[in-house]
Structure 1
Amino acid sequence: MSNDERTFVMVKPDGVQRGLIGEITSRFEHRGLKLVGAKAIQLDRELAEEHYAEHEGKPFFEGLVDFITSAPVFAMVWEGKDATHQVRRMVGETDPAESPPGTIRGDYGLDLGRNLIHASDHEDPGSNEREIELFFDDDELLDYEQVTAEWQYE
């Protein structure tokens, strides 16, 4: 499809430790998005600092880096029509207390510092590509026809 875009999503250490990878992944699949890359990884400090570079110098930066490197994460790339915007709506607000029921953070999150999931910013079009390139090599991303696409898109 010509309107398909790719977006980066990461289940954070708290989501991995709580056994929510399958639940979170199934929500995106049920929405109709196509998984084109996925892997469990342990972030080192260098990658974490690069990933959160826009927050460097802020009071919460060190805690954020410490947390994201504390346990494995599950990195994914999803593809679909307006995928970034769709994913952000499904994820909910950064603060789970502000996220409505039905969103991932609204259903499973309780604390701002343990908000389960990261998704690329739909207001920053370059964030998708930057984050995908940080976590995935080109040969780790699949290009295939999703057989259900004709039932999902007009």
Structure 2
Amino acid sequence: MQRTLILLKPDSVQRRLMGRIISRFEDKGLSFVGMKLMQVTPELAKQHYAEHVEKAWYPTLESFITGGPIVAAVLEGLEAITVVRDMLGATSGLKAAPGTIRGDFSSSRQMNLVHGSDGPEAAEREIALYFTPEELVDHTPTIATWMRAADE
């Protein structure tokens, strides 16, 4: 089992796509083990996007991610990081394949609806930025036996 962070960005919230996007992850068999609606502060944005803070376009990114509420969530499942990133599609909604979340709902290079951790180290770091250990719930959904083989 692997955990990853997703952020339904302000454009997802404002466009009222939250439920449709969450349903896709549930339909895939991923489990939500933490979720909250919150406002990203400039300080949190700088921590999350630390590698981009010095880039010329960072102020636009910070303004976007702090511009409205987001939904932060932790998903758990087999190869969850890769599965989520494949479901999201290319970073630019203009290049994302139909059938992916960005391919179906985004028509922008920058407003791409959802963030997903890009690797195990990033997932661990990002989850800790948005959630305390007490906010994450360990559980096995009863449907799990019908979603994957017992030895997976």
TM-score normalised by the chain length of structure 2 = 0.96
Which residue matches 1:48? Answer: 45
Total equivalences in the alignment: 149
Which structure 1 residue ranges, 4+ long, deviate > 2 Å from structure 2?
A: none
* One of 147, 151, 154 as aligned partner of 2:142: 147
Question: Equivalents in 2 of 1:78, 1:33: separation in Å?
Answer: 6
- State the superposition RMSD in angstroms: 0.7
Which residue matches 1:35? Answer: 32
Amino acid at match of 1:152: M
Question: Equivalents in 1 of 2:147, 2:139: separation in Å?
Answer: 16
Amino acid at match of 1:23: R
Question: Equivalents in 2 of 1:54, 1:142: separation in Å?
Answer: 30
Amino acid at match of 2:118: D
- 1:10 match: secondary structure: strand
- 1:47 match: secondary structure: helix
* One of 116, 119, 131 as aligned partner of 2:126: 131
- 1:148 match: secondary structure: helix
- 1:111 match: secondary structure: coil
Question: Equivalents in 2 of 1:102, 1:85: separation in Å?
Answer: 16
Identity value in percent: 46
Question: Equivalents in 2 of 1:121, 1:52: separation in Å?
Answer: 12
1:103 is the counterpart of 2:95: no
